[in-house]
Amino acid sequence: MDAIDLLLPALGLALFLEGLPWFISPDGVRKTMLLISTLDDWPLRLIGLAMMVGGLLLAWWAIH
């Protein structure tokens, strides 16, 4: 299996999941973005780190 065979479906799924909240509740996304814009950098970095680690663990688990 080539890397592209995994990359394209993963990218497609990521785009689908990223677009879903915008389709379901655009106003809720706007309100959430306003709330996020008021947070300091540190909580956002922790959330980003947790999402990266979780994503890597999920990808590793799915492959093995």
Assign 2 a pLDDT band (cuts: 50, 70, 90): confident
Residue 62, pLDDT above cutoff 90? no
Helix H, strand E, coil C: the string for 15-54 is HHHHHHHHHHCHHHHHHHHHHHHCCCHHHHHHHHHHHHHH
Q: What is the per-residue pLDDT for 1?
A: 65
For residue range 14-53, list pLDDT tens digits in order: 999 999 999 999 999 999 999 999 999 999 999 999 999 9
Show the domain range for 47: 3-63
Q: What is the per-residue pLDDT for 22?
A: 97
Count: domains in the chain: 1
Q: What is the per-residue pLDDT for 6?
A: 81
Cβ-contact 36, 44 below 8 angstroms:
yes
Cβ-contact 28, 21 below 8 angstroms:
yes
Q: Taking the model in full, what pTM does it have?
A: 0.69
